[in-house]
Amino acid sequence: MKRILTSVLFSGVVTAACFGQDNSGSQRLENFSSFFTGEKKWLVLPVKNGAPKKNLELWVNGELTRWFDMEVADEKPDWFAYLDISDWKGQKMELRVDALSTASQAFTTIRQSDVDTNAAPLYKEKLRGQFHFSPKRGWTNDPNGMVYYNGEYHLFFQHNPYGRGWGNMHWGHAVSTDLLHWKEVGEALYPDKLGPMFSGSAVVDEKNTSGLGESGKPAMVMFFTGAKAWAQGLAWSNDGRTFHKLDRAVVTRINKDNRDPKVIWHEPSKKWVMVVWVERDHGQNSMQILTSPNLKDWTEASVVYGGKGDDRYLFECPEFFELPVDGNPAEKKWVLTAANSQYAIGTFDGTKFTPEVERLNGQLGRDFYASQTFNNEPKGRRIEIGWWRTHTDKDDMTFNQSQSIPMELKLERKAEGLRLTRTPVKELESLRVKTYPFSKQKLKEGGANPLSKIDIELAEIRVEFEPGTAKEVKFDVRGVPVVYNVSKQELTIDGVTSPAPLQNGKQRITIYADRTGLEVFASDGILFMPINKNIPAENRSLSLTASGGAANVSKLDVYELKSIWD
User: Please, what is the minimum distance in Å from the beta carbon of residue 326 to ligand FRU?
Assistant: 32
User: Please, what is the minimum distance in Å from the beta carbon of residue 315 to ligand FRU?
Assistant: 8
User: Please, what is the minimum distance in Å from the beta carbon of residue 232 to ligand FRU?
Assistant: 11
Taking CA atoms, 96 is separated from 37, 379, 475, 559, in Å, by: 14, 49, 55, 52
Nearer to ligand FRU, 317 or 443 (CB): 317
> What gap in Å lies between CA 512 and CA 517, rounded to an integer?
8
134, 140, 146, 151: CA torsion to nearest 10: -40
When asked if residue 339 is in the footprint of ligand FRU (CB under 6 A), the reply is: yes
When asked if residue 243 is in the footprint of ligand FRU (CB under 6 A), the reply is: no
Per-residue contact string for residues 72-101; x = within reach of ligand FRU by CB under 6 A = ------------------------------
When asked if residue 263 is in the footprint of ligand FRU (CB under 6 A), the reply is: no
How far separated are the first and last CA of the chain, in Å rounded? 56
Residues 123-142 that bind ligand FRU (CB under 6 A): 141-142
With CB under 6 A as the contact rule, the residue among 184, 192, 260, 519 that binds ligand FRU is: 260
Contact by Cβ (8 Å): 161, 187: yes
User: Please, what is the minimum distance in Å from the beta carbon of residue 279 to ligand FRU?
Assistant: 11
Phi first, then psi: give them for residue 363, nearest 5 degrees: -150, 150
Count of residues of this chain found to bind ligand FRU when the rule CB under 6 A is applied: 14
Nearer to ligand FRU, 368 or 484 (CB): 368
For 122-157, b/e burial (b = at least 16 CB within 10 A) is eeebebbbbbbbbbbbbbbbbbbbbbbbbebbbbbb
User: Please, what is the minimum distance in Å from the beta carbon of residue 257 to ligand FRU?
Assistant: 8
When asked if residue 317 is in the footprint of ligand FRU (CB under 6 A), the reply is: yes
User: Please, what is the minimum distance in Å from the beta carbon of residue 204 to ligand FRU?
Assistant: 22
- Quickly count: other Cβ atoms within 10 Å of residue 353's Cβ: 21
Which residues belong to the active site? Answer: 142
> What gap in Å lies between CA 298 and CA 77, rounded to an integer?
47
Per-residue contact string for residues 148-167; x = within reach of ligand FRU by CB under 6 A = ----------x---------
Order of strands across the sheet that contains 152-160: 183-184, 170-176, 152-160, 138-149, 399-400
Which amino acid, residue 215? S
Nearer to ligand FRU, 158 or 516 (CB): 158
Nearer to ligand FRU, 223 or 484 (CB): 223
Residues 200-229 that bind ligand FRU (CB under 6 A): 225
Which amino acid, residue 13? V
When asked if residue 274 is in the footprint of ligand FRU (CB under 6 A), the reply is: no
Any long-range contacts for 291-295 (C-beta under 8 Å, 24+ apart)? 291/266, 291/350, 291/351, 293/209, 294/209, 294/210, 294/211, 295/203, 295/205, 295/209, 295/210, 295/212, 295/221, 295/234, 295/250, 295/263
Nearer to ligand FRU, 158 or 402 (CB): 158
> What gap in Å lies between CA 6 and CA 15, rounded to an integer?
9
Per-residue contact string for residues 168-207; x = within reach of ligand FRU by CB under 6 A = -x----------------------------xx--------
User: Please, what is the minimum distance in Å from the beta carbon of residue 387 to ligand FRU?
Assistant: 7
With CB under 6 A as the contact rule, the residue among 30, 316, 408, 519 that binds ligand FRU is: 316
Q: Which residues bind ligand FRU (CB under 6 A)?
A: 141-142, 158, 169, 198-199, 225, 259-260, 316-317, 339, 369-370
